[in-house]
Amino acid sequence: MYRLYYYPGNANLAPHMMLEEIGAAYELVLVDRTAEAHKSPEYRRLNPMGRIPTLIDGDLVLNEAAAICLHLADRHPEAGLVPPVGSDARARLYNWLIFLTNTIQPEVLLYVYAARHTTDPSAVPSIRAKSAERLDAMFGICETRLAGDGPWLLGGTFSAADLYLLMMVRFARRTPEPPATRYGALADHAARVSARPAVVRAFESEGLERPWY
């Protein structure tokens, strides 16, 4: 049985949706950020950075959300959440997933935690303003893809990348122009993904209130 360490609405959400999509048995283990449990010695033995999520699969310990998603998809190919290894579609999945986790996700975190990036509190608004501009352009790339070759990031095939995109859209919902408000195809995509039964189960089991994005 898998064990997923989580805190409601954190980056565990994409792996959590994956677990529900593949239908595997798993246990959720709450890491209470309000009590700084993610900084505890016990948790840091599993995740040295003290970040969430962590997945336990037997003796295997994984700490990065995108890596967890790929691992789960590879463990359960019957779920069809990633294209075959070596295919062009698989390469496109890697491209989108890495764009989401390496480009959009750090920018969202910069916006949310702008105060961590300066010693001058008066600089926070300007940091956020520029970050919001960059995020708008990044989500615009997703919009162009979905509007032109949708309904999914891989065209006609739903994949793990679509789950990760929903998580990013949710994370960016507090920017001045939330992507699901700013972009029509992206809003439609978020609605389609969030209506999937597995996704509903993941959001509801984390106790997340609507609207989800």
45, HSE (Cβ side, Cα atoms, 13 Å)? 2
Confidence of residue 48 (pLDDT cuts 50, 70, 90): very high
Q: Where are the domains of the chain?
A: 2-80, 88-196
209, HSE (Cβ side, Cα atoms, 13 Å)? 0
Measure the CA–CA gap between 72 and 173, rounded to whole angstroms: 27
Reported as a single tens digit per residue, the pLDDT across 67-100 is 999 999 999 999 999 999 999 999 999 999 999 9
CA 132 to chain centre: 18
Select from 3.40.30.10, 3.40.50.300, 3.10.20.30, 3.40.50.10860 the CATH code of 2-80: 3.40.30.10
Reported as a single tens digit per residue, the pLDDT across 89-147 is 999 999 999 999 999 999 999 999 999 999 999 999 999 999 999 999 999 999 999 99
CA 138 to chain centre: 15
CATH 1.20.120.790 fits 88-196, yes or no: no
CA distances from 64 to 77, 102, 206 (A): 20, 11, 19
